[in-house]
Structure 1
């Protein structure tokens, strides 16, 4: 239960520094170029491995090695969200961007501690369902801070949306304080060990395959991130859905499909080997991107939106569960904060840095060709999955290091 609830707290800030903020800037009339640059606010998710060793080395003097950091970052996230509610893009875009960077930093640091906490707690036989519950909580939070936020913004304004989300983050501190701590946790002995040994351990264990694993982290979810980089702006400006329509469809079809996808992913990785799961679900994620071409020509057709959003959330949930199981299997529990942060940081590269590229590409090729290109961008990751199939099998069967 605590894994799912902490997953909710982990997922809540992401949309508020991403798609919800993109919607806020879009409805405020900001240019596509400005919106593309705003996507860079999330760079902390890419570089979080740089300060992850501190969390392995320095437990706070309360709530154990992981939960203390989680609680402090939840407090900082709540404060940043409430502060953002007092500004607007038209006159204070820079201030909002600064607070968004602070929010992303606190959220990314919370993710470091939570991912390590979950990695420490889950035994190999628990990874599938534990990851499914995490994905379910995470996706529920993203739909609350994304879908529900859009509906509320249409009725009460963005300021109250960010205040409400800030209050939810502060309430999550209760969950953190009452959650169990992983047993037998021992911090690393020195800063040198905390910074250097996690990376040395990873490269020592995987040798020549290490670079392949790192490349897979970047490439596997690339097509998903590319298509979604400007999806909110696309849906508001091309089919011209309203905020309420986007929120309602995401809240119903998106929430249901995402939760079903995450739970189905837990079932799949317990019944199917990890390699075929990653391959099949990776292909499905790419094909779903083509559904957005339908929306280019459909106008504000709610049936089309529900179909595309439902399929995207379902197959993304499936693929993410299998991917997170792989990332968890690759980590040494002694350095779980740093190693998980490194691998998940690489997975965030596409989500963070493709926004400006997408904003440049769309005027050159049009929205339909853009979504076709995003589907093709899955090919390098799928080929790498095939190339690493034997290594994936060995990682799947390995006991905790």
Structure 2
């Protein structure tokens, strides 16, 4: 049958409209609230806590040691299998039960941290900060699993965008908002307010539905060593075995590891570049908080629309290329020198394109998870995706010293291209939203 003139254009506009409208879906908006709760506790044990300790005269050496309290975030995959297999304390479903239990404890731990006096209870304060970080990392495990399992395939990209946006809004509330409250009402009021704001995510788990996912039940018989071995095999070995059944799984892991490597290299050395160009700390902070925040949220949302419209594979490639182009603005900054306009442009380009690529990547990681092992597999894959940031951090300074700023950032714009070729090879075979046929 012959198509009517202009039909393709109308259909394309409809698909774009549908991609944007996905953000108004109730379930996707719930992910925004959970992202807010996920991002809120991070700075309460990091920069906001450091500011509190500094204002009361705690020694810098002790403040620096407090940075170690964030260690649970890097190792959350170790106890993620427990949340996939062990029944939660509250019998409200596998995800809701764990989510509500953890968030109630987290609210109490944040409130307890705010009650501490750094001059008298510094060891207790450190212990509570570790507890907050542990519960926060555990909350992230449950939130990611709930998001992946609750959203359908068409909602995964908007959900990835919302989790990033909510996370940044939560960080802004705990960072700038926490400092503002502390200045006018004291530190206890600041931390008590943050504990209350965690109730935003608690409400989602209280009134939101439990994901309808069939979970493999244990058929082990007997007790003792055999039961323990079976439980370990199901909870810990099972997620790895399941993932390794995928064709070309090592190539998939390499692609995940390398996808944001260029952005990680550039991000690690961005502040040293600005300082070397004689930008003041207030100038850098203002550009990062104003232009950085809004460009990250905007980039996350645009990335969700692009991924919904074009599919995961095309979005990974398109956003990955734009991410590489975004790093070229650092070259412009290095050559242009101390110019505020260039700084704003550089921060905006880096965060906008990086957030777009981040949304596409999170959507891909979500699609790789098997329902029976969502919490464990997403925790592992997301840790692998962020590992490149740790690995390249030590090499960025040496490389930039040897080859100079402009060549270094030019290198960061191409170092991620091999990962894009791997995505082209092993990435998900998308379905076009307008044709529902496999994309070749």
Tell me which interval the TM-score lies in, with the shorter structure as reference length.
Answer: 0.7 to 0.9
What's the Cα RMSD here? 4.4
Q: Kindly indicate whether residue 304 of structure 2 is the aligned counterpart of residue 266 of structure 1.
A: yes
Query: In the alignment, is the contact (CA less than 8 A) between 2:323 and 2:350 conserved in 1?
Result: yes
Show the counterpart of 1:385: 420
Q: Which of 130, 134, 142 does residue 105 from structure 1 map onto?
A: 134
Show the counterpart of 2:361: 323
Structure 2 residues not aligned, in runs of 5+: 1-28, 219-229
Show the counterpart of 1:43: 71
Show the counterpart of 1:205: 246
Query: In the alignment, is the contact (CA less than 8 A) between 1:275 and 1:385 conserved in 2?
Result: no
User: Alpha-carbon deviation of 1:339?
Assistant: 0.9
Aligned partners of 2:266, 2:124: CA distance in 1, in Å? 28
Q: Kindly indicate whether residue 42 of structure 2 is the aligned counterpart of residue 14 of structure 1.
A: yes
Aligned partners of 1:137, 1:79: CA distance in 2, in Å? 22
Aligned with 1:393: secondary structure?
coil
Aligned with 1:204: secondary structure?
coil
Equivalent residue runs for 1:108-147 within 5 Å: 108-147=137-176
User: Alpha-carbon deviation of 1:39?
Assistant: 5.3
Show the counterpart of 1:342: 380
**TM-score, normalized by length of structure 2?**
0.71
Q: Kindly indicate whether residue 350 of structure 2 is the aligned counterpart of residue 312 of structure 1.
A: yes
Query: In the alignment, is the contact (CA less than 8 A) between 1:269 and 1:277 conserved in 2?
Result: yes
Equivalent residue runs for 1:70-89 within 5 Å: 70-85=99-114
Structure 1 residues not aligned, in runs of 5+: none
1:230-278 Cα distance to aligned partner (Å, 9 max, x none): 87899899633449x93x6556534432222122111111233433432
Show the counterpart of 1:239: 279
Query: In the alignment, is the contact (CA less than 8 A) between 1:281 and 1:318 conserved in 2?
Result: yes
User: Alpha-carbon deviation of 1:383?
Assistant: 0.7
Taking a change above 3 Å as real, the CA distance of residues 286 and 388 of structure 1, as seen in their structure-2 partners, is: closer
Bigger fraction of residues in helix: 1
- Structure 1 residues 318-327 or 252-261, which shifts more? 252-261
Show the counterpart of 1:220: 259
Taking a change above 3 Å as real, the CA distance of residues 193 and 250 of structure 1, as seen in their structure-2 partners, is: same
1:119-147 Cα distance to aligned partner (Å, 9 max, x none): 11122222222322333322322332344
Aligned partners of 1:144, 1:24: CA distance in 2, in Å? 16
Aligned with 1:298: secondary structure?
coil
Query: In the alignment, is the contact (CA less than 8 A) between 1:219 and 1:378 conserved in 2?
Result: no
Mark the structure with the bigger radius of gyration.
2
User: Alpha-carbon deviation of 1:62?
Assistant: 2.7
Tell me which of the two structures has the higher relative contact order, counting C-alpha pairs closer than 8 angstroms and 6 or more residues apart: 1
User: Alpha-carbon deviation of 1:282?
Assistant: 2.8
Aligned partners of 2:175, 2:149: CA distance in 1, in Å? 30
Q: Kindly indicate whether residue 194 of structure 2 is the aligned counterpart of residue 194 of structure 1.
A: no
Query: In the alignment, is the contact (CA less than 8 A) between 2:111 and 2:191 conserved in 1?
Result: yes
Show the counterpart of 1:54: 82
